[in-house]
Amino acid sequence: MALTFDEGHTLVVQKGYEKQYIGGKKQIEKNFRIYSEEGKKNRKMAKKMRAEKRYK
């Protein structure tokens, strides 16, 4: 199983660990904020608020 990450580099991962986050605690938290459903909702909400602020 191979996953792509970091601008085209390839990482070979043992089968069964494909969904595990890689990296230290700080990187895991960053990945969670970016890729979780909650993170996506937060980014959309922030984008909407910035757009509203711009047009006021």
The answer to whether 45 and 52 have CB atoms below 8 angstroms apart is no
Mean predicted lDDT score pLDDT of the chain: 80
| Per-residue pLDDT at 40 exceeds 80 | yes
d(CA 17, CA 55): 46
Residue with more model confidence, 2 or 28? 28
> 3 falls in which pLDDT band (50, 70, 90)?
low
pTM of the model: 0.46
Quickly count: other Cβ atoms within 10 Å of residue 41's Cβ: 10
Question: H or E segment at 54?
Answer: helix 37-54
